[in-house]
Amino acid sequence: MLNMKTGTVLLIGALALTLGGCATQVKRVGVEQVKDLSGDWNDTDSRLVSEEMIRDSMSRPWIDNHEKKSNKAPAVIVGNVRNLSHEHINTRTFIADLERAFVNSGRVEVVASKAEREGIRAERADMDLNASEASRKEMGNETGADYMLIGTINSIIDATEGEQIRFYQVDLTLVSIADNRKVWTGQKKLKKDIKEAKFR
């Protein structure tokens, strides 16, 4: 017969093994690795769609027309991208991916967003009072955007028992700020076949 002390030790050991088996395990994966767990819109979708759509926009006539007319690269600001899909999508990461793709193209200048400009203007105002004359940056020298990129993300779900098709459509439009002309429109479609999913 086990004494009370031995029984307590065995119980604690068994409990430790049980809890250890249920512990969360974390494994680092490369950020470029495709890992589609739920079928939802994810970081890979955001990156690939933004790169492909900006690459398409850079191959269209609007950019050459602008350069011929003004003898300089166009300045672009990424505006609102509305999520009209069935799921929560963090559009801020998608906007950041669009900005990165624009910058990396080397063909356009990207202007800071409204929120970013407010912080920069506050810093410039503080600099006006406290920075040396040689390092001070004057007000009124900002680069104005020539074009604004706006868009939407939509989705359609078609589901039956044990299988689901998720369709995503991203529409982007580049608009001339001077006269509201749409100089480029792009569309990217994604379709995902998900089997044995727990449908929402």
Which pLDDT does position 197 carry in this prediction?
47
Query: What is the rounded distance in angstroms from the CA atom of residue 153 to the CA atom of residue 58?
Result: 21
Which pLDDT does position 199 carry in this prediction?
47
Q: Is 116:110 a contact under the CB 8 Å cutoff?
A: no
CATH class of 38-195: alpha beta
The number of helix segments (H) and strand segments (E) in the chain equals: 5, 5
The Cα-based distances of 166 to 6, 162, 171 in angstroms read 57, 13, 17
Tokens read off for 138: 């004057």
Which pLDDT does position 22 carry in this prediction?
61
- 190: closest CA among 167, 171, 173? 167
The Cα-based distances of 162 to 36, 54, 193, 198 in angstroms read 18, 36, 11, 8
High-pLDDT (> 90) share of the chain, %: 59
pLDDT per position as a tens digit, 138-195: 889 999 999 999 999 999 988 888 888 889 999 999 999 999 999 999 999 999 888 8
- 168: closest CA among 146, 188, 149? 188
Q: Is 167:156 a contact under the CB 8 Å cutoff?
A: yes
- Domain segments of the chain: what residues? 38-195
